[in-house]
Amino acid sequence: MAFLKGQLTSSGRIAIKYGLDFTKASTWLNGAMELVFDNGATLGSRTPTTAGLVLTDNFVAENDKIFEIDAIPTNLTKGARQGAIAVSVNRESGYAMTGWDGNPDCGLKMQIYNRAVNTTARGAVRGFDVLARNRSSGSCSWINGGLITAEHSDGNVANIIGLEVHAKNNGVCSGDVKCLRVFDNSQSATGTSYALTIDCTNNSPFTREYCVHINSGASSGWTNGITFDGNITNTFDFADTNGTNGFTAVSNGSANGNVDGYIQIDAGGATLYLLAYDAVPS
């Protein structure tokens, strides 16, 4: 496969018209190389020496792409589990830190900015967009939009966080500020729908302290801890009545004010009970 050679400019950029010959050693400047495609793209405030490879291009039409990878899995018995792009960062044992600035070793970082002065009805910024889709009448075992794992194998670690989501409003927001939104956009009623499931495996048979923990800073807070809105049949649904899930049925409820059961709660370290009736109390 042949490529036309790019032209090295005085600013350290390679002006490319049709392709690039990566065997040309003079294209590297201080371990860095920038590719500027021939459509008037500008480097802006960045410099070519801040990265090993910089691709600079302009988006003109809505379907323009700067970098595209098309992978076609062909193995008939194994999935392409390594991915079309595999990023590996490995701090070797000989590079133990003698000091720390608080920053982690990061595998992938994206920064998407908007500096255009638009109206609030125009323009938007999205960090990343992922679509895992079964299409063209295909069939498969399952579809997973993403998998994130934070694993501690051995040694010592202070904290483990599987996923951390921040929403920061430092200006003026005329709408809502949501740290996390879970949205079911299903167009079919088949299957059992869950907006959110929280589970723990049997591989480590011990009791975790908190399934959902709601907290706030000392000088901030929430007006409502949990808000129910829309069409909801049951506020809570307990699968068992023997106390396993927090609800215990009362067999002789008619003799005790028609109390059908109770829900155990902890209030400041004290065990208390919320009563449940088999009929709407008057």
Per-residue pLDDT tens over the stretch 199-248: 988 777 888 999 999 999 999 999 999 999 999 999 999 999 999 999 99
| Separation CA 47–CA 259 (nearest Å) | 73
Residue 212 lies in a domain: no
Beta strands in the chain (DSSP E): 7-8, 13-16, 33-37, 53-56, 247-249, 259-267, 270-277
| Separation CA 87–CA 107 (nearest Å) | 6
Residue 202 per-residue DSSP state: T
Residue 273 lies in a domain: yes
Measured between alpha carbons, how far is residue 100 from residues 4, 32, 89, 104, 161 in Å? 45, 26, 18, 9, 19
Residue 213 lies in a domain: no
Query: Which of 10, 36, 59 is where one domain is finished?
Result: 59
Containing structural domain, residue 47: 1-59
Query: Which of 10, 32, 59 is where one domain is finished?
Result: 59
- The pair of structure tokens assigned to 180 is 């996390």
User: Can you give the pLDDT at residue 251?
Assistant: 83
Number of domains in the chain: 2
pLDDT interval class at 253 (50, 70, 90): low
Judged against a pLDDT cut of 70, whether residue 162 lies above it is answered with yes
- The pair of structure tokens assigned to 27 is 């294209």
User: Can you give the pLDDT at residue 29?
Assistant: 40
Residue 42 lies in a domain: yes
User: Can you give the pLDDT at residue 64?
Assistant: 81
Is 76 within 8 Å of 65 (Cβ atoms)? no
The total number of residues shown for the chain amounts to 282
According to DSSP, the β-strands at 13-16 and 33-37 are parallel
Place of tokens 């400019």: 9
Query: Which of 59, 80, 107 is where one domain is finished?
Result: 59
Residue 10 lies in a domain: yes
Residue 68 lies in a domain: no
Residue 178 lies in a domain: no
Residue 27 lies in a domain: yes
Sign of the CA dihedral with 50 first, then 51, 57, and 58 last: negative
pLDDT interval class at 36 (50, 70, 90): low
Sign of the CA dihedral with 241 first, then 242, 243, and 249 last: positive
Angle of CA points 266, 268, 269, to nearest 5°: 65
